[in-house]
Every structure is written in C-alpha cells, then in structure tokens.
A = this chain, B = another copy of it.
Amino acid sequence: MDELNIENKIIVTALSNQKRAVFRDHFLELHFYDQMQLFASFTQQQRQRIYRFLSPKELGDMFDEFAEDETMVISYLKEMTPQLAANVLSEMFTDNTVDILGQMEKSDLATYLNLMPKDEIPEVRKLLNYDDKTAGALMTTEYVSIDQNKTVSTAMQIIRHQASDAEIIYYLYVLDDAQNLIGVVTLRDLMISDKRTEIKTIMNPYVYSVQVDDDQEDVAQKVREYDFLAVPVVNQAGHMLGIITVDDIIDVIDEESAEDYSGLAGVNVDDTKESPWSAALHRLPWLVTLLVLGMSTASLINHFDGLVSQASILAVFISLITGTAGNAGTQSLAIAIRKISVENDRKIWRLISNEVLTGVLIGIVTAVVITIIVGVWKHNFILGGVIGISMMVAIVVANLAGSLIPILMDKIGVDPAVASGPFISTLSDLTSVMIYFSIAQLFLKYLI
C-alpha cells in the first residue's frame, strides 16, 4: 500500500522532529499490526521517544500484536522503567500478558507482577499456572458477561461500556449468580430483538464450551466444526473462566500443523531466518544419532559379508529394498501422526491393523512386479522371488513400525512427531536388510 509508505514517512519525520501531536495523530490511525511493523524498525533512541509519546494503553495495544515474539517484547519492556513496563503489561490482553511473563526470568516476572494494579495480579497469577498447550494457557479473561434477567437495552449499554477493553464484544456470555455459564447471546441476536426483551428469552442455552485443561488441539477442532469466533472456557463445575478467540485458534492450528510437519521431516521448519551455521548445528545432533543407528545396519551387512562375497548380485538390490520399504513406512507414519491428534483409542489400534494390511496388499503387488523385472533382467526367477518376498516382508514391517511407534510414543507421553520420518526410515533400513539377507541365505545355492 503506497498510502502506508507515505504515512510511515510522515510518522518517522514527526518522530525525528519531536512533534508529539503530529506523531500521535498519524501513528494511532494505523492498524495495530502496521504500528507493530513500523515500531520494530526503529532504533532504541526512537523507541525511547515513543515510550514518552504514547500512553501505556496505546503501547499495550501495539504490543498485543507482538504477542508471539515474547523475547522481543521482553527486550522492549526492559528499556522502560519497571513501573511503565508493568503498566503496559497490564493494558495488554491477559492471555498475551501471561505468555510474556511466562518467558521471563523469575526475578523480572516478580518485579513486574508486583508493580501491576492490585486487582489484576490474582488473575494473571492464575493463568500463569496453566499447563502449556491447554485451553487455560490460551484463554483471556476480557470477555463480556451478563445476567439473564437483564434486558437487551441493558446488554447494549454494557457492551458500549466495555467495547474498548473486551477482546471480543460480539458474543455475550450469560452467567448466573454463581458464575456458572448458562447461555450465550450474540450481538446479532441483540440487534434484531426488541429493547425490552429479557436476555433469558433470546439466549442460546446450549452453549458450547471447553474445559480449562482440554488440549489445545481439541479446542481448535471445536472451533473448526462450529465456526465460532470465540469459545468459552469453563472448569469442571461449569464456572466461566475465560474465552479463546478465533485468531488465537489460527495460531494453534499453525503451531500444531508445523509440529506434525516438522516431525515427519525430522527438522524444525519454523526457524525461518536461520543461517546455514545454526541450521547445520540444529540438524546435526539428530543426523549423527541416525548415523550411529545406520552403522548397525552397516555392521549387519558386514555380518553377512560371506553371503555377499558368494553372491555379489545381492548387493545390487540393497538400496531398492531399503528404499521402497522406507517410502512405505514413511507413508504409514504420516497417516499415524495425523490420526493420533484427532482420533480416540479404539480407532487408533485399528489404524495399525489397517496399515499392516495395506502393507501386505502393497507388498504383494510390488513383490510380483519386482520378481518379474529381476527375473527377466537376470534370467533368474528364484533371485527375483527372493527380492520380491524380501521386499514384501520389509514393506509390511516398515508399515508396522511407521504406525506402531508413534502410537506407543503417544501412549508414554512423548510427542509422536518426535518419531520422525528419518528415524522410521533408518530403522526400516535395519529391518529390511535383516529380512533380505536372511531370506537370501535360505536360497543361496540358487543365487550364485
């Protein structure tokens, strides 16, 4: 947007010339995201000036946009006086405040927390205690609630009053005296109703909520199904604790899919600005570990050295068998990782049997194909059969490993995406070679 570039120039000029009013006029007109982008490009001197030109609330609104980059926000907060930093933190949406405090050194956290407005401290402390990746860790407490006996016009007044503080005003949550969530009414419902109507007659009593310790993936699934703009979070007793808005759900979906993807590839795909040095440093530990695992395959082939010396033709098909089994195993792994996040137990065990069965069917077809190809090529159908059967069994074993291992890891509490593609294919190299040479040994006299 050219208009944006022009605006940015005006803002930067006003800042340099210390024209507070001009700066505020133009800067505050920008969308918060654009404020954030511009702010991130400033020098420390320019930033110090902005901390004086903007109010804590205005700074807080902008920092809400930085929410995922907690390290960056923390460095900015440290440039301010502790009291100002605490004020800015308290003006941010509570879910973001909590994310940032959670990334700090404990001493800094304590400092800022104690300087925040007294009424906010208990809430923030509570949210800090929720496990990462649960509804409790995602939620914010800035929602609008109302009593069911109030009227539509009272509801409208409440919304007007809270419009600048609540994270979302389009859903109102109906609570009873004990803070139980008993219904929800949308702003749309309010707009089409007569002003004197009581909330209880227009509210939806079937209100979908999530539990505070629900996994974030389950929350995302509910939002996907019901197309919510926000979903309320309750505890086991049914008391309303907070809401999660759809933009945070999008972040969860991105995070979860990046994890699954990274797991399959065996590399963290989110460090987008890595230099080759740090990329190599990150990937090496895992690659070297797999290298050591690959050495056991090498020593296995070494163990069968006598066999290979007698029938050197066997060496020709090593990579064909390990490669094909590896491809099949990776497919099973990919499907298992996706299914684990959405399915329940009973279906998961069926997943394994399905994958093994699929492996058998694939194995039979590939075995026939390869037997024919090798038999014709080398004029030796027993050789072809050895390769074919080895490949079939190797594929079935690879499919079994690819589906079973992530499930077992999930059961013992390790993220199944850790059972990465490279690990499964390296493991299947080992099993494939073992199967291949064992079968070849049986038919050795036909292969020499």
Contact = CB atoms under 8 A, between A and B. Distances in A.
A294 interface: yes
A355 B274 CA distance: 11
Contacts of A254: 224, 253, 257
A247 B319 CA distance: 46
Given A160-B191, A206-B29, A229-B229, A322 B324 contact: no
A110 interface: no
Nearest to A351: B272
B339 A272 contact: yes
B315 A301 contact: yes
Interface stretch (A51-59, A78-86, A418-426): A418-426
Contact of A334 (B170, B267, B276, B362): B267
Interface residues of A, number: 107
A188 B161 CA distance: 11
A83 B264 CA distance: 49
Interface stretch (A42-50, A125-133, A366-374, A406-414): A366-374
Contacts of A179: none
A252 to B, nearest CB: 11
Contact of A316 (B3, B4, B302, B316): B302
Given A191-B163, A280-B361, A206 B333 contact: no
A237 to B, nearest CB: 16
A112 interface: no
A162 to B, nearest CB: 10
Contacts of A333: 265
Which of A247, A283, A320, A360 counts the most B-chain CB atoms under 10 A from its CB? A320
Interface in A8-41: 29-31, 33-34
B318 A425 contact: no
Contacts of A422: 326-327, 330-331
Contacts of A229: 229, 246
Contacts of A284: 362, 365-366
A191 B169 contact: yes
A1 to B, nearest CB: 7
Nearest to A157: B191
B295 A305 contact: no
Contacts of A170: 170, 187
Nearest to A373: B295
B191 A164 contact: no
Contacts of A334: 261-262, 264-265, 267, 269
A447 interface: no
16 contacts: A33-B226, A160-B192, A169-B191, A261-B261, A265-B333, A267-B331, A267-B335, A275-B354, A276-B354, A279-B354, A280-B358, A295-B320, A297-B320, A298-B316, A298-B317, A322-B323
Given A223-B250, A283-B362, 18 more contacts: A7-B206, A29-B206, A164-B192, A187-B187, A257-B257, A261-B261, A266-B330, A267-B331, A269-B335, A280-B365, A287-B362, A290-B323, A291-B320, A294-B323, A297-B320, A298-B317, A308-B312, A331-B422
